[in-house]
Structure 1
């Protein structure tokens, strides 16, 4: 049995993951604003440091895996873009950077980061915001987002999930992660019946927008089903899964970009692609 850290553990998909892991006999160190082993606010630097440190103390310096389920949705409010950026991006990258040695100390550790299908279904997300978030520059990201007025929280949410998905793919294949035996992947859900979605559906205007969104199979996801995907991505069956973003969204991503992905390497990038292939050094365990 393993030791796992789960952020966003008090409700929704995070809570469902915790229940499954514990039913399977694993030890879980939970992190959330309330009702958790480690109570911490991931929207602040001090909160992230406290969460990272407390988890390392509780796991004894060895983690078999981590599930980064903490996240904020696009609710209205002037400060919401900053909170989304801090929690959804730095609440993942800062904690995983601190936990990486503990994950490397385990045998074939697995990490699942919660992304979202908003990464491919929200149009016109400013690239400069994504770049700023990848650089860890929340001030620069928020400065651009504020120019978008009331739409800022929606774009902040999509940009945060794009940034964290790119971070997963960039880091997953490096010596520090794959080379250390850690499998780093992301799960991208669609609309899942969590307390956040229930709150949105209680608002007539939000409910109308959500119900109009294309979900080919209909309905909403079940947190238990998403938790089952997470547990699978933490299992030995995922040993060959590295840097993937797995969409579990009822077909929405496929509906929006049926022929966009996969796509061949463009000719203009061929020289760079060949150069990277020649420079590749196999590492991993």
Structure 2
């Protein structure tokens, strides 16, 4: 049995995942702003440092896996792009950087980061905000997002999820992650019936928009079944899964992007990766 850390463990998909892992006999260190094994506010640098330190102490320097499920969505009537980007992006990448040595000490450790199908279904997500997040500049990202007025929070959500997905893809194949035996992947849920979605459905205007959004199979996803996917991505069956973003969204991504993916790699993009390969920077031995 292994030791896993799950952020956002007090509700929604994080809670369902923690419950699945515990039911399978694993030790779970839950992190949440609500009552959990580690109570921390991931929207602040101090809260993230406290969470990182507490988990490292609790796990004894070894983790078999991590699930980064903590996140904020756009709340009706509130503009909170700064909070969303701090939790959804920095609350993932800073914790994973801190926990990487413990994951490397594990045996074929697996990491699952929660992305979203909003990465491909929200139009006009500002590239400046995404690039600023990837550069570690949260303030610059928020300035770019505020130009969208009432839509700033929705854009912040989309930008944070695109940025964290790209971070996963970029880092998953490096010596520090793949080369250290750690499998780093993301899951991109669609409309899952969590407390966040229930809150959005309680507002008539939000509910109308949600119900009109294309979900080819219809209805909403179940948090428990989504957790089953996460547990699979943490299992030995996922040893060959690296740098993937797995969409579990009832077909919405395929509805909008049926002919966009897969796409061949432009030849010019291969040049820097071939150079990195020769220096052995991107791939494990």
Q: Contact 1:77–1:153 (CA<8 Å) still a contact in 2?
A: no
1:126 correspondence with 2:138: no
Give TM-score, length-normalised by structure 1.
Answer: 0.96
- SS of the aligned residue for 1:130 comes to helix
Structure 1, residues 229-273: CA drift from partner, whole Å, max 9, x if none?
A: 000000000000000000000000000000101101225545556
Equivalent residue, structure 1, for 2:168: 168
Deviation of 1:75 (Å): 1.5
Give TM-score, length-normalised by structure 2.
Answer: 0.96
Equivalent residue, structure 2, for 1:85: 85
Q: Contact 2:174–2:282 (CA<8 Å) still a contact in 1?
A: no
Equivalent residue, structure 2, for 1:67: 67
From the superposition, tell whether residues 152 and 165 of structure 1 become closer, same or farther in structure 2 (CA, over 3 Å).
same
Q: Which stretches in structure 2 are left out of the alignment for 5+ residues?
A: none
Q: Contact 2:33–2:40 (CA<8 Å) still a contact in 1?
A: yes
Distance 2:78 2:262 in 1: 37
- SS of the aligned residue for 2:158 comes to helix
Equivalent residue, structure 1, for 2:20: 20
Structure 1, residues 184-222: CA drift from partner, whole Å, max 9, x if none?
A: 000000000000000111100000000000000000000
Q: Contact 1:76–1:150 (CA<8 Å) still a contact in 2?
A: no
- SS of the aligned residue for 1:144 comes to helix
From the superposition, tell whether residues 78 and 200 of structure 1 become closer, same or farther in structure 2 (CA, over 3 Å).
closer
RMSD (Å), alpha carbons: 1.5
Q: Contact 2:109–2:181 (CA<8 Å) still a contact in 1?
A: yes
- SS of the aligned residue for 1:43 comes to coil
Q: Displaced runs of 4+ in structure 1, greater than 3 A?
A: 76-79, 267-285
Equivalent residue, structure 1, for 2:58: 58
Aligned residue pairs total: 285
From the superposition, tell whether residues 79 and 202 of structure 1 become closer, same or farther in structure 2 (CA, over 3 Å).
closer
Q: Which stretches in structure 1 are left out of the alignment for 5+ residues?
A: none
From the superposition, tell whether residues 271 and 45 of structure 1 become closer, same or farther in structure 2 (CA, over 3 Å).
closer
Deviation of 1:277 (Å): 5.6
From the superposition, tell whether residues 11 and 144 of structure 1 become closer, same or farther in structure 2 (CA, over 3 Å).
same
Q: Contact 2:173–2:283 (CA<8 Å) still a contact in 1?
A: no
